[in-house]
């Protein structure tokens, strides 16, 4: 007899099942567990997603689309930790003077956000 393959983590499966429990305290617990799982997933995926946005920005030729990509990148950096090397290709544009005038504010914001995040996570850095 072939056993069914379960792709869900056991804790996630229990949390999802708890969402339908008649006991509201168990539903609340399940909801908190799913929130924690979502936060962890966001922390893991944010650098990868930011890297894809950086690649798209560097390849983009339409200024409106490029502006949208920088906006998305700054949002990702604001809400999740993104290591500076992920955005280096974008931030280097500001330092090298190869960016367009309209890019400066977005890129400076990304640099500020990443700098603030690294200072928060590293107590040896000054704020």
Tens digit of each residue's pLDDT (9 = 90 or more) over 68-110: 999 999 999 998 889 999 999 999 998 898 888 999 999 999 9
Distance from chain centroid for Cα 120: 17
Kindly report the number of other CB atoms within 10 A of residue 98's CB atom.
9
Cα angle at 42 between 33 and 68, to 5 degrees? 140
Mean pLDDT is lowest, of 18-22, 53-57, 111-115, for 18-22
Cα 51 from Cα 48, distance rounded (Å): 5
Give the mean model confidence (pLDDT) for residues 5-14.
Answer: 65
Confidence class for position 118, pLDDT limits 50, 70, 90: low
Closest C-alpha to 12, from 36, 34, 39, 28? 34
Mean of pLDDT over the chain: 83
> Domain limits of the chain?
10-121
């Amino acid at each position: 007899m072939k056993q069914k393959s379960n792709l869900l983590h056991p804790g996630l499966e229990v949390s999802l099942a708890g969402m339908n429990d008649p006991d509201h305290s168990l539903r609340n617990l399940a909801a908190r567990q799913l929130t924690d799982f979502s936060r962890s997933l966001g922390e893991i995926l944010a650098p990868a997603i930011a890297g894809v946005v950086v690649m798209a920005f560097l390849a983009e030729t339409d200024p409106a689309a490029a502006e949208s990509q920088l906006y998305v990148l700054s949002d990702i950096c604001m809400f999740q930790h993104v290591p500076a090397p992920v955005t280096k290709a974008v931030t280097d544009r500001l330092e090298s003077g190869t960016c367009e005038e309209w890019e400066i504010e977005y890129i400076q914001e990304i640099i500020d956000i990443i700098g603030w995040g690294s200072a928060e996570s590293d107590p040896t850095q000054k704020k």
